[in-house]
Amino acid sequence: MTDILIFSSTDWHGNWGSRQQIAQLWAAHGRRVLYVERMAGWEHLARYPHLRRRRWARWRQGVAQSATQVEPNLWLASPPPLLPGRYYLPAITRFNAAWVARWLRSILRRLDFVAPLLWLYKPEQAALAGRFSAAGTVYHCIDEWTVGTAGRKKRVIQQLEADLLRRADVVFANSRLTFENKRPFNPHTYRLPSGVNIRHFQAVADPALPLPEEVAHLPHPVLAYVGNVDERIDLDGLMRLAQALPSWTLLLIGRVNRLAVDIEPLAALPNVLLLGDRPFAQIPALLKAADLCLLPYVGTEAARYRSPLKLYEYLATGLPIVATPQPEVEEFRHLVTIAPAADLAAGIEAALAADSLERRRARQKTAAAHSWEARFAQILQHLAECGLQVADNG
């Protein structure tokens, strides 16, 4: 059976999302998976304390020289720090790729990984394609990497991604606009939106699931957002919302990037509760306190390309959802209330007034069609269409 070598854009215990879900699906279907964590430079370790702490802890455990099994069929490896400047000098990108490949070679030998399927997530990983005697190369594009960049950095990223798109046997793009952008570079490009762990999030509606004490006595209605709190979130809109509905509770669950946003004005409001980063396993119980879920993204260029993972997870809970305008949300307009940031309060009140058991069941039924298992079936189909025979044996 073909082994799977994943070069992720996040750490295993970082933001939980599609990268970890894909790895788990391959492992659950009988493939051995090596998940290589984010290739971070020294500048990233200096800039992000949470990444630095996590990496130092893993390296002290010896993960830098070997792979750690985290689940059946699934191993984790943390690469050494890379040279900075990869988005400015292609030569540094090539050097870093050679360094990582050399570091990884002994780990692959110990695991007896031979001719794996190479699964890549970032433009600079183009230099890894063609290495490891791979059975094939997949580029899973879940972000538009040039958004927010300019000048030389933008040009280098475009060059790296164009190279990766040409080298890849298959390209998966997570949004319609990203698909349209990548398709001209590679005819074997397919749209693969985010998905959802159905059982995990349907547990929100399970009466047997205990309600955590920290959210058990919040004033209702409770408006919940789950995810990173950073520059993508409309904090000004949330501030206006919390001030307009002072007897309601705004519940934010996720890591706050204090380098990107000033959270203090919002956090100071008496009806706002910031829980910070929580393990994926705890999210359903915390959401059990919610009356409605929010997707309050700002209307930036990045938002146009996003396939919000939280949309599908919210749908699986059955709870009402209010989102600011985003292209990938439009197709769910019949189940999601879409409201501009200036009209969030009115949209929320309308969504709660229209809520019913029938609408909750409709949301959950729709979510079931977007499960990670359904996405995995699409992956296997498209790989087979492109001549990569890694059919499910599990």
Cα separation, 311 vs 309, whole angstroms: 5
- Burial of 324 from C-beta contacts in 10 A (0-12 / 13-18 / 19+): buried
Cα separation, 98 vs 362, whole angstroms: 50
User: Element (H or E) spanning 138, and its range?
Assistant: strand 136-141
Give SS3 for 272: strand
Tokens 């058990």 belong to residue: 216
pTM above 0.75, yes or no: yes
Beta strands in 184-248 (DSSP E): 189-191, 222-226
* Residue 334 reports pLDDT greater than 50: yes
* Residue 267 reports pLDDT greater than 70: yes
Which is more confident, 83 or 165?
Answer: 165
Please state which of the ranges 74-78, 80-84, 272-276 shows the lowest mean pLDDT. Answer: 80-84
141, β-bridge pairs: 173
Peptide bond into 81 cis (omega under 30): no
Cα separation, 6 vs 101, whole angstroms: 13
Which is more confident, 38 or 172?
Answer: 172
pLDDT at 384: 94
pLDDT tens track for 341-363: 889 999 999 999 999 999 999 99
Give the mean pLDDT of the chain. Answer: 91
Phi, psi of 39 (to 5 degrees): -80, 100
Count other Cβ atoms within 10 Å, centred on residue 250: 22
- Residue (of 370, 213, 214, 354) closest to 291 by Cα position: 354
State the helix-helix crossing angle for 18-28 and 372-385, rounded to 10 degrees: 70
Query: What percentage of the chain exceeds 90 in pLDDT?
Result: 76
The mean per-residue pLDDT over the stretch 243-249 comes to 96
The mean per-residue pLDDT over the stretch 65-89 comes to 87
pLDDT tens track for 377-391: 999 999 999 998 775
Q: What sign results for the dihedral spanned by CA atoms 309, 310, 311, 315?
A: positive
Please state which of the ranges 65-74, 167-176, 348-357 shows the lowest mean pLDDT. Answer: 65-74
* Residue 58 reports pLDDT greater than 70: no
Give SS3 for 217: coil
Q: Where are the domains of the chain?
A: 4-194+371-385, 198-368
Q: Is the domain 4-194+371-385 a CATH 3.40.50.2000 member?
A: yes
- Residue (of 271, 370, 357) closest to 319 by Cα position: 357
The mean per-residue pLDDT over the stretch 188-217 comes to 95
Runs of H (alpha helix) within 34-118: 42-47, 49-60, 90-111
pLDDT at 89: 82
Q: What sign results for the dihedral spanned by CA atoms 361, 366, 371, 377?
A: positive
- Where does 198-368 sit in CATH, by number? 3.40.50.2000
Runs of H (alpha helix) within 81-210: 90-111, 151-167, 176-182, 198-202
pLDDT tens track for 90-123: 888 899 999 999 999 999 999 999 999 999 999 9
